[in-house]
Structure 1
Amino acid sequence: MEKIIEVRGISKVYGRRKTKEKIHAVRDVSFTVNRGEVVGLLGPNGAGKTSTIKMLCGLLESDAGTISIHGLDINKKRLKALEHISAVLEGNRNLYWRLTVRENLEYFAGNRGYSRKQIADQADKLLEQFNLKEKENELVNGLSRGMQQKLAIAVALLANTGVILLDEPTLGLDVEVSYELREILKTIVKEEKRTIIISSHDMPVVQELCDRAIIINKGEVVIDDRVENLLKLFETRAYSVKLGEPLSLEQESKLRGRFPLSMYQASSHESIVEVNLEHSQDIYELFDLFKEEGTIVESIDRTTIDFEQVFIQIVKGGKKHEMATVIEC
């Protein structure tokens, strides 16, 4: 497959003014993105994800390593490289608020060298696709947060770049608008075969749209694999155990201490433990916990797992070698 983006050993260090302490935000991060892929670039707060995104967009220069877009080194040929990528960054700085919806499309397309006539048909299509046609002559500062976000993504698509970077595309949106935007993006991914990088804390977005997930934690890449592989890996260790009686307080304390991702629900008629086991053999330790007080196990079933659970488990693992151990189980 053709590599569109190549990130090789990039690092970024910040210095605190008062203490002169060095903060390693990004440490030797490497990954590639192929033509037509939809990749999730993920990480908890403070993991180095934002710095990585800024370096990809040319807003921040790496201290070491290289970033190439369509074979162009972003540090050596910045403007040429950035012709191949458009971005919608977190926040409200992607649009001109005193221009109308259509004027924003025309203005930003003009910055890329397109005339109004050249983009007229595509602009009409995007306005219809994003349900913005009725708002095309309204000023952006009068739009809802959801409409502004949809317009920002439409602007990025109108640039006709090979790569689109979407940073937190559903942040701050209500459930209905978030769902609508996911459906629009799924259509775009299917029809246009764009190369898209999505950074998001909204795990349904990642699970529904992304082919691969690159997860950064503590400045390093801890996993780079297909989403379907990660779901299969952790699905085999997700169990729901129905008990014949409630756990004692001591058992419950031990459960949460040994299996921090577990969930325990007890009612007058049933008790259920839902647990993700890091290693297959951990099930014996789980049953020992029930056995020590003679708790009756009525049934045990494997359960489905979503990408949010996968993400938590990976980040909890922390380092690359720890993830390698998990994958080999």
Structure 2
Amino acid sequence: METIINVSHLKKTYMKRKQKEVITAVDDISFQIGKGEIVGLLGPNGAGKTTTIKMICGLLKPDQGVITINGINNAKHRLKALQHISAVLEGNRNLYWRLTVRENLEYFAGNRGQSKKAVTNRIESLLNTFRLKDKEHELVNRLSRGMQQKLAIAVAMLANTDVILLDEPTLGLDVETSYEVRTILKEIVEKEQCTIIISSHDMDVIQSVCERTIIINNGKMITNERVDRLLTLFEVRAYTVTLGQPLTEAQQMAIESAFSSYDYITNQIKPMINIELPSPEHIYQLFDILKQEQTPVESIDRNTINFEEIFMKIVKEGYNHGNHTSVSSELA
């Protein structure tokens, strides 16, 4: 796959206000994004994710490292590089509220050097794609939050850039509108063959839309892996074991010592163990502990796990399944 964004050994530090302490927001982060990919860029608050996004968009200059967009260094040739990327940043005013929906599309197209006549058909297509046709003459400040967000994404699409970066595209939207935005994003990737980077705390968006996720924590990249692979790996690890009799105190201590993620439930008809295994082979270690007291096993069920749970576990415990940087190397 041809690379469209290459982030190499990125580092950014800040001096804490009124103090001499240096804070490292981004610490030697490297990854690649291929043309036509849709990638989630994730991280808890303060992880360095927003700083990384701002450096990719040219809003911040890295202390060290190189970012290229379509082969162009965005520090040395900022304007030329940024012609290949458009962004919808959460918390920023992405639209002119005293203009109508159509006027916003025409205005921002003009900013990109496109004539009103040249973009007429494209605007019509976007109005229909984003279900905004019946609101085209409505002032933006009268639109719902969901419609404003759809319009902001449509404006970014109108630029016809190779890359679109969406920061929290479903923040503050109701369930129905959030689902609609996710559906539209999937349609865009299929039809337009553009590259989309999504930064979001809405894990349903990442799970349903993104092919791959890059997770940053404490300034470092801790995961760079396909979403479907993460779902498969973590689902295989999570089990519920229903027992025929309670565990002894010695057995509980042995399980707690052997397994980092373990929950013993006794307020059900039958006692149960919710457990995550480091690998499938560790089930035998659990059986050995149960066998000590001849504890009967009535059933073993593999648990369904969602991406939000996976994200929390990766941030808390790390990710040790193979080489998580291998995805980037495949793009080279």
TM-score with structure 1 length normalisation? 0.88
Amino acid aligned to 1:238: A
Retained in 2: the 8 A contact 1:233–1:327?
no
Alignment partner, residue 242 of structure 1: 242
Q: What is the aligned-residue RMSD (CA, Å)?
A: 2.6
Amino acid aligned to 1:42: L
Question: Equivalent residues in 2 for 1:49-60 (5 A)?
Answer: 49-60=49-60
Which segments of 5 or more consecutive residues in structure 1 lack a partner in the other structure?
A: none
Structure 2 residue 143 is the aligned partner of structure 1 residue 143:
yes
Alignment partner, residue 78 of structure 2: 78
Displacement of 1:40: 1.1
Amino acid aligned to 2:8: R
Alignment partner, residue 330 of structure 2: none
Change (3 A) 1:101 1:241: same
Amino acid aligned to 2:243: L
Change (3 A) 1:121 1:25: same
Alignment partner, residue 124 of structure 1: 124
Alignment partner, residue 180 of structure 1: 180
Query: Which deviates further from its counterpart, 120-129 or 302-311?
Result: 302-311
Change (3 A) 1:257 1:112: farther
Displacement of 1:286: 4.5
Alignment partner, residue 23 of structure 1: 23
Change (3 A) 1:112 1:303: same
Query: Which deviates further from its counterpart, 27-36 or 123-132?
Result: 123-132
Q: Report the 3-state secondary structure (helix = DSSP H, G, I; strand = E; otherwise coil) of the residue aligned with 1:187.
A: helix
Question: Equivalent residues in 2 for 1:253-272 (5 A)?
Answer: 269-272=269-272
Q: How many residues align?
A: 323
Displacement of 1:296: 4.0
Displacement of 1:201: 1.4
Change (3 A) 1:2 1:244: same
TM-score with structure 2 length normalisation? 0.88
Q: Report the 3-state secondary structure (helix = DSSP H, G, I; strand = E; otherwise coil) of the residue aligned with 1:116.
A: coil
Q: Distance in 2 between matches of 1:21 and 1:270?
A: 54
Retained in 2: the 8 A contact 1:146–1:177?
yes
Query: Which deviates further from its counterpart, 167-176 or 273-282?
Result: 273-282
Q: Report the 3-state secondary structure (helix = DSSP H, G, I; strand = E; otherwise coil) of the residue aligned with 1:308.
A: helix
Q: Distance in 1 between matches of 2:247 and 2:174?
A: 38
Identity of counterpart residues, as a percentage? 60
Q: Distance in 2 between matches of 1:236 and 1:92?
A: 41
Alignment partner, residue 220 of structure 1: 220
Query: Which deviates further from its counterpart, 89-98 or 67-76?
Result: 89-98
Question: Equivalent residues in 2 for 1:4-43 (5 A)?
Answer: 4-43=4-43
Alignment partner, residue 87 of structure 1: 87
Query: Which deviates further from its counterpart, 282-291 or 76-85?
Result: 282-291
Which segments of 5 or more consecutive residues in structure 2 lack a partner in the other structure?
A: 324-332
Partner deviation per Cα, 1:253-279 (whole Å, 9 max, x = no partner): 997897675566666545544333234
Match for residue 322 of structure 2 among 321, 324, 327: 327
